C-alpha cells in the first residue's frame, strides 16, 4: 500500500467524504408486521387509559347551565324583545333559582355563555386599537376602530366595536338569603392587564352615542383594572363561547338552591343569540367536555382492533421478508 | 537533400492554395468514416428551422448558400487601418465587453423585471397588491409583503453576486493590453479601446482581443496556429492563413489600405465569408482567414490582423449563451396538478362567497345593528354605511379575500424548493467518485439544472459509437498492402527503436506515441524501393504520412538531444495513421502550407504540396498532390472503401483488388475501422489540366466548393490501389457490462454510428449489444419501394419471433424468458428513404418490437431524425449520448442529452445537459442517481401539495365558523412563516438526502429502474390519495380542538396557536413517517423544525402589540392543549399509516421488496462490511 493509497483510504473514512458520497451512516427502519402490530397495540394501550381518565375528569366536573334570555323577559314583552331590552325605562331585574344537584367544590367559576354570537367576525375582530388601549386618547391613529371611533368629534376611549358591545348583564347570587361572595378580581389574563391595557388610560366619551351597544365603564377606573372589558376584549375563537364572570369561593352542597338576581341588559335578541349563565367547577383538564375523552377511547380502541386485524392477516398470508426471489423478475412461475 | 526548385517553380500556385483550398479547414473528417463535417451542425438554427432529417444533401445545401455573394445591405465594410472611416457611417460595437447584466443603477428595476417573468412570482405579486386594497386587507402590510420580499431578496442577492463576478472578469478582460497600429507604430492599447478597422499585432501565446482577418504572420507562407480551447474547448491546434497578397506588407513601413466587405456578425464560429480589396485586387476570405476572440496564438511568433468584429459582436461573445433550458417530465405533470389545485382553490373561494352571500341575505335587516357587524355609522349624526358596498360587491370582495387567504393552495414555495433540491442533487452527482474519470481527471458535469429527475425515467438511450462506446484512441493494427495482409504486429520488436527516430542538427526526433509493428512489414519498409513489393510499401506509407492534415509539434524532453514529435490533428484516425507511418520509418516532421518534410528511414525529404482536396462527406475521401524532389507529381488518395473502390482502376491487378476486399471484410468483422489508400502518378499534361482547373476553382467567387469538388472528382479517378489500413478503436472500459445493465433495467439501447455495417455489428457483439441469442434483421435498401418491402417483411418476421413464445405484450416488458429478442440493423441509405416519409410509422412499429436497434452509416441530422422518430411517437423519455460534433443535433433533440468529454473536443459537451468522462458512468447516473432524483422529486412535489393543502384547509374550516368572513385564528405571521421556516427545511433535506435504496442494491437489480418507467413515485392516483389524506388530516386537526373547546372560554389566538403547532408537527411527522434513511441531518432537520416552530410561536406571542400576546403561554399551561395535540397527531396519521402498511405488506412494489432484502440480507451477511463493491464498475477483466 503506497502512501497515496493510504491517504486516499484515510480520506474515504472522513464524515465529509461519506456525506458527499451520500453514504452517511443511517438507520433504515422497515415496517415489519411485528413492528406494525406493536405500534398499534402501543397506541391503543396509551390512548384507552388516557381517554378513560379524561372522560372521568370531565364527568367529575359539576356544571349548572341556565338559559335566561327568554325567561328574563316578562310575558307581555316577549313579542318584541328588542324594544323591551332597548327601553331604558323598563327595569331589567330578573331572578333565577338554580338547584345544585351535586356537591360543588370551590372555586366555582361563574361564566356567561353566548351562542350564535360571532366574536370572530372579521369586522368585529379588526375594530379595536391596541395602541389606544395602552396609550389612551393621545394615540390618534385609530382608524381601525371604525365605525366606533369618534363621537361628537371627540375620540372614544376605548374605541371600536368590541369595546362598544361590552357585555353588561350583572349577576348576584344568594344562598339561603345570604349573598354568596363572588370574587371578580383576576378574571382576566395577567399579561393583558399588565401589557395591553394602560394603567393610566381612563375611559373617555365612552358609550355616549345615539346607539348604545352594551356596558358602560366607570371613567375613574383605569382600563387595566376594568377586568370585564379585558375579558370581553380577548375575543373568542368560536361563535359559541363563555366568558369568565367571577368565582364563588365557597362550596355548594347538593340540594342547595341558589337564587340569582340579574340585570338583563344585554341585547342578543336582535340576532337570536342565546344567553346562558354557567356555574362550573373545574378539573385538572378544565371544564366539562366529554368529547376528547371519547375521541381518545375511540382512537385507542381502533388501534387495538387494527392490531388484531393485522395479526390475523399476518397469520393468514405471510410474505417472506426481504427475499430477493420474491422480486418479479426472479419469480419463475410468473406468466403474463 | 531538399531541392528548392520545384517549390520555387510552383510558387505561383501557392497563393491559391493558401487561401482557398484550405478554407474548409474545420471540416477535416472528425471521423474518417463518420462522413460529416462539423459545419452542418448549425446550433442556432436547429430549433427554429424545420429540418429535413432524411436529406443527405443538407450539407451541400449549406455549402452552396455559403457561396452566395454578400449583398451590400447585409455587409459590413471595414477599411483596413482606418478605424475612423470604418466607423463613420455604421456604429460598430467597440471592443469593450459587458457580460454583466446590470449596473448599480439598473440593478433593481432590471432584476425585478426579470424575476417577475416567472408566472409564480407574478401570482404572488398580484395577491400582495390585492391585499393592499383597503377593502381586501386580510393581512397586515408587513406580513403580506414578507414572503415575496424574502424570495425576491434571496434571488436578487444571488444574481447580484453572480453579476459582480462577471463585472470583475469583464474589467480584467477590458483592461488587458494589446499592440495596435497607431500612426504607423504599434502601441499598447487596452482591449476596450480597440476599434473595428484597426491593425493589431499578436505575439505568441497571447489571447486574441477581437475577431480579426489575418494579414500576415511570422511564417513566410502566412500560416498561424491557434488554439481554440476557450472558444469550443478543443485543445488541438488549428491552422489559419494570411492571404498571399497581404503577407509581405509590413504595416509599420508601408501603409496598408484596403476594404473588407464581410457578413454581419453571427454566431457561427465555423463560418465566415468576406471579400477583401487590396491593391485593386479582390480576394475572397473564408473561415480559415479569420482568428477569433478568445483563441490563443501558438507556435507562430507573431501575427498581424485587422479587426472586423469587436466586443459583443465577436463570435465568442455571440456564442456565450447558457445551456438550453428544458423542462422535466415530472414538472410538466406537476403543472397539470397545479391547474387542478387552482380549480380547487377557486372552488373553495366560491364556497366561501356563496355562503357569505346567503348569510348576508338572511341577515340583511339586522346588519345595521348586529354588534359584530354594525353596517352604519351613528356617530356623526348622518347615517352612512361603513365599509359596506352593497351585497354584490361584498360577495366579490369576499371572493378576492378568500383567494388571498387560501393563496398557498398553489405551492409557490415548491418552485423555489425544487430549485434548491436540484442544486443539492447536482452537488452529489458532481461529487460522486464513481463518476469521476481518473484518466481525464474530469468530474461529472451538470449543465442543465432542471431535468435531474428525468434521469430516472429514461426508456430509450441513443448512443453514438465512436468515442462513446469506444475510447476513440485509434491504434493502427494492420495493413493490407498490394494484396498482402500484414497483421502480425503483436509485439514490439527489440530493434524497433531504429526506425523510430530522425536526426536533425544533431538532435534526435522521436514520435510521442509508439505503435506495434509487424516485423515483416517493418523489414520490407526498411529495405528501400528496390523491390517492386517494397515500392508499394514505400508509397503506402508515404501516402499515410502525407495525405492528411496533421500538424507535427516538436516538444522538448528532459534530454536536450531528444525531441518528441506530437501529432496534432482533429481526426484521431489520421493521428493513428501518421504515428504508424512514423513507426515504419516515414516520419512527418514538418508541415507548412507549401511543403511537407518527411523523414524517410531517417533521411529528411522535402515534398511540395501542390494541392489538397479536403475530405467531404459526399466524396468520403481526401487527396493530396505532391511534387516529388525528382519533379514527378503524384496524387495520393485515402478514403472510405465504398468511395475508393468506385474510383480505382479495376483493369489493373484485379486479383489484388479482390484480395484487398477480402482483407477489408475480415478487418471490419474484427471491428476495425478501415481506410483504403490509392495513388496515381500524374503526367505533365494531366497536371497542367488539373492545375489550371484548380486555380480557376480556387479563385472563383461563386460556388467555389462545388467547383473544387468537381476538380477533385476529376483527379481522383483511375487510381492505383496501394492497400488498406485497419485501425482499432478500443471499447471503453466497462461498456459491455453497462449495456447489459441498461438493458436489464428495461432501457432500450440504440446505437447510431457513422461506421460501416460490419464494423458496427462487430462492435455490437463485443459490447454485448448484440448477443448470439438474438435474431438480426438487416435492412439495406436503395429505394423507397425496397425499403417498404423489407420493412414489411421485417415486421412479419418480428411478429413471428415474438409470438413463438406465445406472449406479446405491449406493456414494455418484452425481455421475458422464452422470447426471442430481435435486433434491427439498418443503414443510413435506407433511412434516407424512410425518415420524413410515411414509412417512418412502420419503422417505429418495427423498432418497438426489437430489443436492439443498430443504425450504421448515419449522418448527424439523421441521428436527430431517429431520436425524433421515437420522441414524437411515444411518451417515453429519450436520452442521447455522444461525444462529437456530429452528435450535437441528436443531443439537443433528445429529452436528456449527455455529452462525453472525450477526444473529439467539447462540442457535444457544450450542447449537452450532462457531461461525463466515460460511457459506463451512464449506469450509476441513470440507475442510481436518476432513480434517487426521480423518487425524491416525486415525493417532494406530492408532499408540498399535501403540506400546503392541510394548512389551507384548516383555515378554510375555520372560515366556515366565522360567518365566512376570512378571519384567521392562526396568526398571520405564522401563516407567512409556515412555508418559510416551519416546514421548508425538512422537505429540502429529505428531497436531497433520502435514499430509497442503496447504490449497491440499485446496481445489483437494474430492474428496479422500472419504478421510474411505471411512474411509481408520481402519478394521478398518488396525487388523489395525497389530497384525500390532506383533507382528512386537516379535518382532524381542525375539528378535534373545535369540539374539545366548543362553548369554552378559548380565544382565537390560543386556539390558533394550537392549530399552528398541530399542523406543523403533523406535517413534519408525516414526512418522518416516509423517510427511509435516517441520518443525523434528517433528524436535525425534522426535529429542529418542530422546535423552531415552537420558538417562533413563542416569539410571536411575546410581542405585546400583536393580538395573540401571551396566548401560547396561557394555553400551554392547560393539559387539554397537550392532550389535543397528541390526539390530533395520532388520529390524523392513523389512516395514512394503515394504508401504507397494507400496501407494503400485501402489494409490495419491487422497491419495497428490495429495501427489505437490503435490510435483512445485510443482517444475515453481517460479516460483510459495507464496502460499496460495484459489480459494474469493477468488472473482472476477462
pLDDT surpassing 90 at residue A231: yes
In a domain, B937, yes or no: yes
In a domain, B878, yes or no: yes
For residues B428 and B421, what is the distance between their CA atoms, to the nearest angstrom? Answer: 11
In a domain, B166, yes or no: no
Do both A277 and A298 map to the same domain?
no
pLDDT at B822: 85
Do both B688 and B585 map to the same domain?
yes
For residues B994 and B933, what is the distance between their CA atoms, to the nearest angstrom? Answer: 10
Return the C-alpha cell found at A195: 401589557
The CATH number that applies at residue B652 is: 3.40.1110.10
Do both A97 and A168 map to the same domain?
yes
Q: Does B384 touch chain A (CB under 8 A)?
A: no
In a domain, A24, yes or no: no
pLDDT at A5: 66
Q: Residues of chain A with pLDDT > 90: what percent? A: 48
In a domain, B402, yes or no: no
Do both A222 and A270 map to the same domain?
yes
Do both B751 and B769 map to the same domain?
yes
What is the Rg, in whole angstroms, of the alpha carbon atoms belonging to chain B? 37
Confidence bin at A6 (pLDDT 50/70/90): low
In a domain, A4, yes or no: no
pLDDT at B70: 60
In a domain, A298, yes or no: yes
> On the CB side of B275, how many CA atoms lie within 13 Å of its CA?
17
pLDDT at A275: 93
Q: Does B358 touch chain A (CB under 8 A)?
A: no
Q: Nearest CB to B1109: which of A195, A236, A238?
A: A195
Nearest residue of A to residue B1155, measured between CA atoms: A322
pLDDT at B813: 42
Do both A274 and A141 map to the same domain?
yes
Residue B590: CB atoms within 10 A of its CB come to: 16
Nearest residue of B to residue A234, measured between CA atoms: B1051
pLDDT at B464: 87
Domain of residue B1020: give its range.
Answer: 932-1164
Do both B996 and B1012 map to the same domain?
yes
Do both A67 and A52 map to the same domain?
no
pLDDT tens column, B1072-1087: 999 999 999 999 999 9
A286, β-bridge pairs: A283
Q: Which residue has the cell 505503435?
A: B515
For residues B406 and B348, what is the distance between their CA atoms, to the nearest angstrom? Answer: 8
In a domain, B554, yes or no: yes
| Helix residue spans in B311-468 (DSSP H) | 315-319, 329-362, 391-405, 412-431
In a domain, B65, yes or no: no
pLDDT surpassing 50 at residue A1: no
Do both B647 and B746 map to the same domain?
no
pLDDT at B229: 67
Return the C-alpha cell found at A227: 377586568
Distance from CA of A322 to the nearest CA of B (A): 3
Do both B954 and B862 map to the same domain?
no
Do both B898 and B956 map to the same domain?
no
Residues of chain B with pLDDT under 70: 1-73, 89-91, 229-236, 267, 269, 319-325, 378-384, 488-506, 528-532, 570, 593, 617, 652, 700-703, 802-819, 902-906, 1162-1182
In a domain, B294, yes or no: yes
Buried b (16+ CB within 10 A) or exposed e, B1137-1171: bbeebeebbeebbbbbbbbbbbbbbbeeeeeeeee
Residue B915: CB atoms within 10 A of its CB come to: 24
pLDDT at A297: 96
Q: Nearest CB to A238: which of B428, B1042, B1137?
A: B1042
End-to-end CA gap in chain B: 52
The H or E element spanning position B840 is: helix B839-849
Q: Which residues contact B1174 (CB under 8 A, 6 or more apart)?
A: B434, B924, B999, B1000, B1003
Give the β-pairing of B822-827 and B302-309: unpaired
Buried b (16+ CB within 10 A) or exposed e, B236-267: bbbbbbbbbbbbebebeeeebebbbbbbebeb
Do both B526 and B555 map to the same domain?
yes
For residues A70 and A75, what is the distance between their CA atoms, to the nearest angstrom? Answer: 9
For residues B1151 and B716, what is the distance between their CA atoms, to the nearest angstrom? Answer: 62
Do both B870 and B896 map to the same domain?
yes
Do both A270 and A306 map to the same domain?
no
Q: Which of B791, B792, B813 has its CA nearest to residue B802?
A: B813
Total tally of structural domains belonging to chain B: 4
Contacts of A33 in chain B (CB under 8 A): 1145
Q: Which of B505, B468, B429 has its CA nearest to residue B925?
A: B429
The H or E element spanning position B830 is: helix B828-834
Domain of residue A48: give its range.
Answer: 30-61+287-316
Mean pLDDT of chain A: 87
pLDDT at B351: 95
In a domain, A1, yes or no: no
Q: Which of B559, B476, B568 has its CA nearest to residue B28?
A: B568
pLDDT at B124: 83
What is the 3 state secondary structure string of A250-268?
Answer: CCECCCCEEEEEEECCCCC
Do both A136 and A260 map to the same domain?
yes
pLDDT at B399: 94
Q: Which of B680, B714, B729 is the last residue of a domain?
A: B729
Between chains, do B1123 and A329 touch, taking CB under 8 Å as contact? no
pLDDT at B13: 34
B464 catalytic residue (yes or no): yes
Which parts of B are annotated binding residues?
464-466, 574, 615, 638, 673, 753-755, 857, 863, 883, 886-887
For residues B276 and B292, what is the distance between their CA atoms, to the nearest angstrom? Answer: 18
Contacts of A303 in chain B (CB under 8 A): 1134
ipTM (interface pTM): 0.95
- Assign B485 to helix, strand or coil: strand
Do both B829 and B697 map to the same domain?
no
Contacts of B1047 in chain A (CB under 8 A): 113, 115, 238, 240-242
Total tally of structural domains belonging to chain A: 2
Do both B774 and B693 map to the same domain?
no
For residues B881 and B887, what is the distance between their CA atoms, to the nearest angstrom? Answer: 8
Do both B873 and B967 map to the same domain?
no
In a domain, A330, yes or no: no
pLDDT at B617: 65
Strand order in the sheet with B75-79: B75-79, B259-263, B274-278, B281-285
Do both B903 and B1015 map to the same domain?
no
Do both A44 and A73 map to the same domain?
no
Distance from CA of B962 to the nearest CA of A (A): 5
pLDDT at B1089: 96
In a domain, A126, yes or no: yes
For residues B182 and B81, what is the distance between their CA atoms, to the nearest angstrom? Answer: 9
In a domain, A200, yes or no: yes
Do both A155 and A209 map to the same domain?
yes
Do both A249 and A178 map to the same domain?
yes
In a domain, A88, yes or no: yes
pLDDT at B66: 39
pLDDT surpassing 60 at residue A336: no
User: B454, B464, B518, B1029: which one is catalytic?
Assistant: B464
Distance from CA of B249 to the nearest CA of A (A): 58
Do both A143 and A248 map to the same domain?
yes
Task: Indicate left, alpha or beta for B631 from its phi (over 0: left) and psi (-120 to 50: alpha).
Answer: left
In a domain, B162, yes or no: no
Do both A38 and A83 map to the same domain?
no
Give the β-pairing of B281-285 and B302-309: unpaired
- Record the pTM: 0.82
pLDDT at B288: 80
For residues B1053 and B1048, what is the distance between their CA atoms, to the nearest angstrom? Answer: 14
The CATH number that applies at residue B771 is: 3.40.50.1000
Best B1049, B1098, B1172 residue to mutate vs chain A (most A CBs within 10 Å): B1049
Beta carbons of A265 and A114 less than 8 angstroms apart: no
For residues A41 and A308, what is the distance between their CA atoms, to the nearest angstrom? Answer: 9
Q: Does B301 touch chain A (CB under 8 A)?
A: no
Amino acid at each position: 500500500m503506497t502512501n497515496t493509497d493510504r491517504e486516499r483510504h484515510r480520506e474515504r473514512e472522513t464524515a465529509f467524504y461519506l456525506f458527499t458520497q451520500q453514504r452517511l451512516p443511517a438507520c433504515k427502519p422497515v415496517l415489519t408486521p411485528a413492528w406494525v402490530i406493536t405500534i398499534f397495540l402501543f397506541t391503543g394501550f396509551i390512548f384507552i387509559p388516557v381517554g378513560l381518565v379524561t372522560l372521568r375528569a370531565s364527568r367529575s366536573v359539576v356544571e349548572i347551565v341556565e338559559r335566561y334570555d327568554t325567561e328574563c323577559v316578562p310575558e307581555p314583552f316577549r313579542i318584541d324583545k328588542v324594544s323591551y331590552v332597548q327601553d331604558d325605562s323598563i327595569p331589567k331585574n330578573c331572578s333565577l333559582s338554580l338547584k345544585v344537584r351535586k356537591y360543588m367544590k370551590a372555586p366555582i367559576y361563574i361564566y356567561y355563555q353566548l351562542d350564535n354570537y360571532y366574536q370572530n367576525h372579521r369586522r368585529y375582530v379588526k375594530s379595536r386599537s391596541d395602541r389606544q388601549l395602552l396609550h389612551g386618547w393621545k394615540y390618534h391613529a385609530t382608524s381601525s376602530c371604525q365605525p366606533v371611533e369618534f363621537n361628537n368629534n371627540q375620540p372614544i376611549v376605548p374605541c371600536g366595536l368590541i369595546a362598544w358591545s361590552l357585555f353588561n348583564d350583572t349577576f348576584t347570587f344568594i344562598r339561603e338569603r345570604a349573598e354568596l361572595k363572588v370574587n371578580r378580581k383576576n378574571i382576566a389574563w395577567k399579561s393583558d392587564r399588565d401589557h395591553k391595557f394602560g394603567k393610566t388610560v381612563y375611559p373617555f366619551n365612552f358609550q355616549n352615542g345615539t346607539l348604545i351597544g352594551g356596558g358602560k365603564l366607570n371613567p375613574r377606573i383605569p382600563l387595566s383594572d376594568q377586568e370585564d372589558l379585558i375579558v370581553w376584549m380577548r375575543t373568542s375563537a368560536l361563535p359559541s363561547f363563555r366568558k369568565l364572570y367571577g368565582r364563588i369561593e365557597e362550596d355548594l352542597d347538593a340540594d342547595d338552591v341558589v337564587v340569582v338576581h340579574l340585570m338583563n341588559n344585554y341585547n342578543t335578541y336582535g340576532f337570536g343569540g342565546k344567553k346562558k349563565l354557567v356555574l362550573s367547577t373545574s378539573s385538572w383538564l378544565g371544564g366539562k367536555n366529554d368529547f376528547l375523552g371519547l375521541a381518545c377511547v375511540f382512537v385507542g380502541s381502533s388501534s387495538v382492533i387494527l392490531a388484531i386485524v393485522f395479526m390475523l392477516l399476518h397469520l393468514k398470508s405471510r410474505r417472506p421478508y426481504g427475499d430477493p426471489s420474491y422480486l418479479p423478475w426472479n419469480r419463475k412461475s410468473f406468466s403474463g | 537533400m531538399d531541392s528548392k526548385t520545384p517549390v520555387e517553380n510552383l510558387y505561383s500556385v501557392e497563393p491559391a492554395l493558401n487561401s482557398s483550398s484550405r478554407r474548409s479547414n474545420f471540416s477535416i473528417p472528425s471521423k474518417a468514416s463518420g462522413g460529416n463535417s462539423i459545419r452542418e451542425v448549425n446550433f442556432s438554427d436547429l430549433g427554429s428551422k424545420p429540418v429535413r432529417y432524411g436529406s443527405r444533401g443538407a450539407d451541400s445545401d449549406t455549402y452552396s448558400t455559403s457561396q452566395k455573394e454578400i449583398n451590400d445591405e447585409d455587409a459590413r465594410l471595414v477599411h483596413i487601418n482606418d478605424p475612423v472611416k470604418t466607423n463613420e457611417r455604421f456604429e460598430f460595437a467597440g471592443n469593450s465587453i459587458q457580460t454583466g447584466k446590470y449596473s448599480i443603477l439598473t440593478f433593481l428595476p432590471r432584476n425585478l423585471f426579470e424575476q417577475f417573468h416567472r408566472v409564480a412570482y407574478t401570482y404572488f405579486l398580484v395577491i400582495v397588491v390585492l391585499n393592499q386594497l383597503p377593502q381586501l386587507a386580510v393581512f397586515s402590510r408587513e406580513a403580506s409583503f414578507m414572503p415575496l420580499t424574502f424570495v425576491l431578496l434571496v434571488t436578487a442577492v444571488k444574481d447580484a453576486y453572480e453579476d459582480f463576478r462577471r463585472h470583475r472578469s469583464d474589467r480584467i478582460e477590458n483592461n488587458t493590453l494589446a499592440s495596435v497600429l497607431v500612426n504607423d507604430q504599434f502601441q499598447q492599447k487596452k482591449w476596450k479601446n480597440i476599434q473595428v478597422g484597426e491593425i493589431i499585432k499578436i505575439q505568441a501565446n497571447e489571447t486574441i482581443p477581437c475577431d480579426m482577418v489575418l494579414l500576415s504572420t511570422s511564417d513566410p507562407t502566412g500560416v498561424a496556429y491557434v488554439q481554440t480551447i476557450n472558444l469550443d474547448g478543443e485543445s488541438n491546434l488549428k491552422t489559419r492563413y494570411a492571404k498571399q497578397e497581404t503577407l509581405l506588407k509590413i504595416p509599420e513601413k508601408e501603409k496598408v489600405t484596403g476594404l473588407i466587405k464581410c457578413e454581419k456578425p453571427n454566431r457561427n464560429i465555423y463560418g465566415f465569408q468576406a471579400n477583401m480589396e487590396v491593391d485593386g485586387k479582390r480576394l475572397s476570405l473564408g473561415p480559415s482567414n479569420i482568428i477569433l476572440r478568445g483563441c490563443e496564438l501558438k507556435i507562430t511568433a507573431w501575427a498581424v490582423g485587422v479587426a472586423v468584429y469587436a466586443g459583443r459582436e465577436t463570435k465568442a461573445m455571440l456564442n456565450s449563451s447558457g445551456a438550453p433550458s428544458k423542462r422535466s417530465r415530472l414538472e410538466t405533470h406537476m403543472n397539470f396538478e397545479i391547474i387542478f389545485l387552482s380549480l380547487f382553490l377557486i372552488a373553495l373561494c366560491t364556497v366561501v362567497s356563496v355562503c357569505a352571500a346567503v348569510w348576508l341575505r338572511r341577515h340583511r335587516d339586522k346588519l345595521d345593528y348586529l354588534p359584530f357587524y354594525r353596517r352604519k355609522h351613528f356617530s356623526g349624526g348622518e347615517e352612512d354605511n361603513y365599509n359596506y358596498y352593497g351585497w354584490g360587491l361584498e360577495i366579490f370582495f369576499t371572493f378576492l379575500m378568500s383567494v388571498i387567504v387560501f393563496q398557498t393552495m398553489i405551492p409557490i414555495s415548491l418552485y423555489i424548493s425544487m430549485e434548491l433540491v436540484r442544486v443539492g442533487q447536482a452537488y452529489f452527482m458532481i461529487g460522486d467518485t464513481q463518476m469521476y474519470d481518473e484518466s481525464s481527471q474530469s468530474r461529472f458535469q451538470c449543465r442543465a439544472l432542471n431535468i435531474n429527475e428525468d434521469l430516472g425515467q429514461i426508456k430509450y438511450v441513443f448512443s453514438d459509437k465512436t468515442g462513446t462506446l469506444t475510447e476513440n484512441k485509434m491504434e493502427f493494427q494492420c495493413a493490407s498492402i498490394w494484396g498482402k495482409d500484414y497483421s502480425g504486429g503483436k509485439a514490439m520488436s527489440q530493434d524497433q527503436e531504429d526506425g523510430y527516430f530522425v536526426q536533425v542538427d544533431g538532435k534526435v526526433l522521436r514520435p510521442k506515441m509508439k505503435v506495434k509493428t509487424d516485423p515483416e512489414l517493418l523489414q520490407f519498409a526498411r529495405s528501400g524501393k528496390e523491390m517492386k513489393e517494397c515500392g508499394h510499401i514505400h508509397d503506402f506509407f508515404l501516402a499515410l504520412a502525407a495525405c492528411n492534415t496533421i500538424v507535427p509539434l516538436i516538444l522538448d524532453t528532459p534530454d536536450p538531444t531528444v525531441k518528441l514529435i506530437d501529432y496534432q490533428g482533429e481526426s484521431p484516425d489520421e493521428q493513428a495513421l501518421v504515428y504508424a507511418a512514423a513507426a515504419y520509418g516515414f516520419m512527418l516532421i514538418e508541415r507548412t502550407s507549401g511543403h511537407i518534410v518527411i523523414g524517410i528511414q531517417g533521411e529528411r525529404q522535402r515534398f511540395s504540396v501542390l494541392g489538397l482536396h479536403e475530405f467531404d462527406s459526399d466524396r468520403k475521401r481526401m487527396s493530396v498532390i505532391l511534387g516529388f524532389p525528382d519533379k514527378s507529381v503524384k496524387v495520393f488518395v485515402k478514403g472510405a472503401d465504398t468511395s475508393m473502390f468506385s474510383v480505382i482502376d479495376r483493369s489493373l491487378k484485379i486479383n489484388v483488388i479482390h484480395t484487398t476486399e477480402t482483407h477489408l471484410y475480415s478487418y471490419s468483422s474484427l471491428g476495425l475501422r478501415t481506410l483504403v489508400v490509392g495513388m496515381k502518378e500524374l503526367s505533365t499534361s494531366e497536371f497542367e489540366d488539373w492545375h489550371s482547373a484548380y486555380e480557376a476553382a480556387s479563385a472563383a467567387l461563386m460556388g467555389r466548393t462545388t467547383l473544387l469538388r468537381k476538380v477533385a472528382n476529376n483527379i481522383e479517378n483511375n487510381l492505383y490501389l496501394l492497400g488498406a489500413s485497419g485501425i482499432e478503436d478500443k471499447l471503453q472500459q466497462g461498456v459491455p457490462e453497462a449495456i447489459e445493465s441498461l438493458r436489464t433495467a428495461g432501457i432500450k439501447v440504440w446505437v447510431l454510428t457513422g461506421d460501416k455495417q460490419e464494423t458496427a455489428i462487430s462492435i455490437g457483439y463485443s459490447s454485448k449489444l448484440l448477443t448470439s441469442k438474438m435474431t438480426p434483421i438487416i435492412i439495406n435498401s436503395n429505394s423507397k419501394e425496397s425499403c417498404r418491402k423489407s420493412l414489411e417483411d421485417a415486421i412479419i418476421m418480428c411478429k413471428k419471433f415474438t409470438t413463438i413464445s406465445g406472449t406479446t405484450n405491449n406493456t414494455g416488458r418484452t425481455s421475458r424468458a422464452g422470447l426471442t429478442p430481435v435486433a434491427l440493423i439498418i443503414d443510413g441509405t435506407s433511412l434516407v428513404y424512410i425518415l420524413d416519409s410515411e414509412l417512418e410509422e412502420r419503422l417505429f412499429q418495427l423498432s418497438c418490437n426489437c430489443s436492439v436497434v443498430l443504425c450504421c452509416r448515419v449522418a448527424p441530422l439523421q441521428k436527430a431524425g431517429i431520436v425524433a422518430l421515437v420522441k414524437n411517437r411515444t411518451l417515453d423519455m429519450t436520452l442521447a449520448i455522444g461525444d462529437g460534433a456530429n452528435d450535437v443535433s441528436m443531443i439537443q433533440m433528445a429529452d436528456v442529452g449527455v455529452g462525453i468529454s472525450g477526444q473529439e473536443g467539447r462540442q457535444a459537451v457544450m450542447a449537452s445537459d450532462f457531461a461525463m468522462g466515460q460511457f459506463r458512468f451512464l449506469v450509476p447516473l441513470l440507475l442510481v442517481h436518476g432513480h434517487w432524483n426521480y423518487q425524491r422529486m416525486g415525493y417532494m412535489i406530492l408532499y408540498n401539495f399535501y403540506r400546503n393543502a392541510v394548512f389551507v384547509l384548516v383555515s378554510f374550516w375555520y372560515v366556515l365558523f366565522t360567518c365566512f368572513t376570512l378571519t384567521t385564528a392562526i396568526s398571520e405571521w405564522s401563516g407567512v412563516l409556515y412555508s418559510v421556516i416551519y416546514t421548508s427545511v425538512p422537505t429540502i433535506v429529505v428531497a436531497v438526502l433520502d435514499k430509497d435504496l442503496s447504490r449497491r442494491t440499485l446496481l445489483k437489480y437494474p430492474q428496479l429502474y422500472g419504478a421510474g418507467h411505471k411512474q411509481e413515485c408520481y402519478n394521478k392516483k398518488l396525487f388523489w390519495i395525497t389530497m384525500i389524506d390532506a383533507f382528512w388530516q386537516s379535518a382532524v386537526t381542525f375539528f378535534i380542538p373545535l369540539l374539545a373547546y366548543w362553548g369554552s372560554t378559548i380565544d382565537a389566538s390560543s386556539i390558533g396557536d394550537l392549530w399552528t403547532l398541530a399542523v406543523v408537527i403533523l406535517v413534519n411527522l408525516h414526512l418522518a413517517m416516509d423517510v427511509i434513511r435516517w441520518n443525523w441531518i434528517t433528524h436535525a432537520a425534522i426535529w429542529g423544525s418542530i422546535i423552531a416552530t415552537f420558538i417562533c410561536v413563542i416569539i410571536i406571542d411575546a410581542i405585546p402589540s400583536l393580538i395573540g400576546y401571551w396566548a401560547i403561554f396561557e394555553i400551554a399551561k392547560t393539559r387539554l392543549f397537550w392532550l389535543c395535540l397528541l390526539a390530533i397527531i395520532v388520529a390524523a396519521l392513523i389512516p395514512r399509516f394503515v394504508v401504507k402498511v397494507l400496501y407494503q405488506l400485501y402489494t409490495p412494489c419491487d422497491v419495497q421488496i428490495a429495501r427489505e432484502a437490503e435490510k435483512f440480507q445485510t443482517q444475515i451477511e453481517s460479516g460483510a462490511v459495507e464496502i460499496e463493491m460495484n459489480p459494474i464498475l469493477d468488472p473482472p477483466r476477462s
